[in-house]
Every structure is written in structure tokens, then in C-alpha cells.
Amino acid sequence: MKLTSKGRYAVMALVDLARFDNINPVSLRDISLRQGISLDYLEQIFSRLRKREIVQSVRGTQGGYVLNKKAKEIKLSNIFDAVDEKVKTVKCKKESKKGCNGKTTKCLTHNLWDELDSHINNFFEQKSLEDLVKDNAERRI
């Protein structure tokens, strides 16, 4: 099980953004330089974040991105959702009554993976962007 770089970069970029947010829009170019993420790739990511109304864009010179909600209200789960970083543990379709093996009952491990799914998603629902920024500020002192 591994985290994809889309999810990783999305969070990294948003933490960076959130730290400067109160003043001016932050340009992707700056984030790219500070965090070492390809600019083109960041653009893909922010396009999605904007569609999900996590950030707002400001065009033109001195433009950039701004948070569209309070950092406290942006959960990790929202971010991952936006960039399509899903947790996939069960193999079957959850709604269906069929198992992953094509049989009419769920497989021996279905329930386990389902628990795992919840376990991981809980984590994502509890962490907010604010938590991350604070955690980082403390570390700095």
C-alpha cells in the first residue's frame, strides 16, 4: 500500500499555501520552488482543488491561489477526494452483494478489508489543514 505522489503533493502544497494565505495569493511557481514539485504537475493538482472549491484562483500578475475555506474546515479527506487519491482495500463493489471472486457471498476477507478501509479513512477525516500547519509551526520553535 502506498501513497501516490498526487496525494502527497496536494497536501504538501496546501500546507505551504496555508502558511502564507492570510496576506496575498501564493503563486504555484513559489510553491514549486519551495517544495521541489514540478510546476506543470502542480497545475494539474490545483485545477482539481479549484473544482472542488478548496482553493480559489486569482489570475494575472501577482496572482496565485488562496484557500477558499478556513484551514480548520479542510480535512485531509477532502483533499484526497479532490485529487482522486482513494483508499482501495476491498476488491469487490461495496454496494453489490456479490463477492470479489464472482460468487454470491462475500469472500473470507471482505470484512477485514472493510474494517481497514474505515480505519484509514478515519485518520483522514480527523486531520485538518489547520492541524498540519500548527504542527509545523510548533516544530519550528
Partner DNA sequence: TGATACTTGACTATTTTAGTCAGGTTTATA
Partner DNA sequence: TATAAACCTGACTAAAATAGTCAAGTATCA
Q: Which residues are at the interface with its own copies (CB under 8 A)?
A: 1-5, 7-8, 11-12, 15-16, 35-36, 85-89, 91, 101-103, 107-109, 111-113, 115-116, 119-120, 123, 127, 132, 135-136, 139
Q: How far is the CB of 138 from DNA (least distance, A)?
A: 28
Q: How far is the CB of 61 from its own copies (least distance, A)?
A: 27
Q: What's the CA gap between 7 and 27, in Å, rounded? A: 19
Residue 50 touches DNA, criterion: CB under 7 A: yes
Residue 116 touches ligand FES, criterion: CB under 6 A: no
Q: Quick one: which of 10, 13, 18, 64 contacts DNA (CB under 7 A)? A: 64
- Give Cα separations from 83 to 69, 103, 125 (angstroms): 17, 33, 15
CB 76 within 8 A of CB 11: yes
CA-nearest of 7, 6, 13 to 120 is 7
Residue 128 touches DNA, criterion: CB under 7 A: no
Q: Which are the contacts of 80, defined by CB distance < 8 A and separation ≥ 6?
A: 7, 10, 86, 124
Residue 10 touches ligand FES, criterion: CB under 6 A: no
Dihedral angle sign, alpha carbons of residues 94, 99, 104, 108: negative
CB 80 within 8 A of CB 48: no
**Residue nearer to DNA on the CB measure, 40 or 95:** 40
Q: How far is the CB of 72 from DNA (least distance, A)?
A: 23
**Contacting residues toward DNA, per CB under 7 A:** 2, 4-6, 25-29, 38, 40-41, 43-44, 46-47, 50, 57-65
